[in-house]
Amino acid sequence: MPEFQTSPGMRDILPPESARWRRFVDVFAQVVEGAGYGQVISPLLEDLGVFQRIGDATDVVTKEMYDFVDKGGRHIALRPELTASVCRAFVQHRPATPWKVWYTGSQFRYEKPQRGRYRQFDQVGIEVLGADDPNLDVEIIALGWEFYRALGLQKVRLLLNSLGEPADRAAYVDALKAYFEANLDALSDESKITLQKNPLRVLDSKRPQDAALVAGAPKIAQFYSEGAAAHFAAVQAGLTSLGIPFTVDTKLVRGLDYYRHTTFEYQGLTLDSAQNALGGGGRYDGLVESLGGPATAGIGFALGLDRTLLACDDEGVFAPPATDVSVFVVDTTGGAEALAITTALRAVGVSADRAYENRSMKSQMKAADRSGAAYAVIIGSNEVEAGVAVVRPLRAERTVNPDGTDGDGTQSTVPRSDLIDHLKKAIS
């Protein structure tokens, strides 16, 4: 075993899988840029305080942060998520509202690594700051839905809930606390601790011991003010009008103190229940304010790339894209011809590769086959002398004659002066 390996929960993403990652982000960008979202590129490091503003009720902030003091004595952290950074940026730059942005990148959480759960993982996401309109909630949820469709995923379920206005939520939290405290003996030890920090999070408990108690707990809907009920009804009506199916799940609370009104989660039905959240989000208030900005409505989601690709594998969709080159140049004269031809091909937009170290014809032809190229260009001293090159189709039966007509599928001899044009035509 080599002395150095990736540390736990960290992975190398190698080709061709890496090409799939990039395409994933491309597809996402296409979906959200088509809806007026612009990309924000945030630093990987922020002052620890930026993330602490998310609240101390989540493991993400209390237990899982990679934080350290830098050489300048600043206490900083590797970002565990991007909503806080986007809000910090909003306060710092004060863009016009509504500010519609998207992002992508790696996040870092010191979690117990397992399938679909890593210490470095990637997300794509969007946030909108400065608009409090149920139509926007619908737009955002629909964009996530559309993105999964664009990947080809079918087995995705949308869960929806509303946490009401801050006052509704506060009344509900009190009621939940009273309920769980009255039944403390039945609660798991872990949930007893959670109860002290954030009674809402007890609803998230997946422990069998808590199941009955959680099922019998008061429901948030009993506490909705008129405005909260109207907002939630408008969101549901909007989703229905777009034909997006959803399930209302009153246990979907999301941990942050800032969440209000709409919360949602996309579940991958092929994944294990502990890791089946493909992505989620909701409305939040107060985060911008707590970072020093004006009171500002916010809503967004983050979708996990790693887990979504696992779901794609399960459904057999969104395979790694082909990264094969179009042409492979086999040069038995020493390599200078290959250098000239590959450079000329690349200059006209035809991808091209070659062998190195002046290998034998046989070895170079093997490399050409492995490359996945559609054509090999073969050039030896005879061809150089005659001012020609041999073009041999490697995969397709189809070839193109120098005059542009279809060839018979066997190799052809092409004048060097026509070679680049000839290949360009053949590839297109």
Catalog residues that contact ligand AMP under the rule CB under 6 A.
81, 109, 111, 116-118, 121, 123, 277-280, 302, 304, 306-307
In whole angstroms, the minimum distance from the beta carbon of 192 to ligand AMP comes to 23
Which of 24/223 has CB closer to ligand AMP? 24
In whole angstroms, the minimum distance from the beta carbon of 44 to ligand AMP comes to 16
CA distance 239 to 246: 8
- Please state, as a whole number, how many other Cβ atoms lie within 10 Å of the Cβ of residue 4: 6
Please answer whether residues 361 and 332 qualify as being in contact, where contact means their C-beta atoms are separated by less than 8 angstroms.
Answer: yes
Q: Which of 253, 278, 258, 276 is nearest to 202 (CA)?
A: 253
In whole angstroms, the minimum distance from the beta carbon of 11 to ligand AMP comes to 11
In whole angstroms, the minimum distance from the beta carbon of 55 to ligand AMP comes to 13
Which residues lie across from 90 on neighbouring strands? none
> What is the number of the residue whose Cβ is closest to ligand AMP?
304
Which of 300/393 has CB closer to ligand AMP? 300
Which of 88/354 has CB closer to ligand AMP? 88
Which of 199/304 has CB closer to ligand AMP? 304
In whole angstroms, the minimum distance from the beta carbon of 245 to ligand AMP comes to 19
In whole angstroms, the minimum distance from the beta carbon of 152 to ligand AMP comes to 18
Q: Which of 56, 379, 343, 50 is nearest to 197 (CA)?
A: 56
List for the chain the helix, strand, coil content (%; round to 5): 40, 20, 35
Which of 254/354 has CB closer to ligand AMP? 254
Tokens linked to 115: 């399938």
The alpha carbon torsion through 224, 230, 233, 237 (nearest 10 deg) reads -170
Q: Which of 131, 101, 223 is nearest to 173 (CA)?
A: 223
Which of 51/224 has CB closer to ligand AMP? 51
Tokens linked to 211: 């199941």
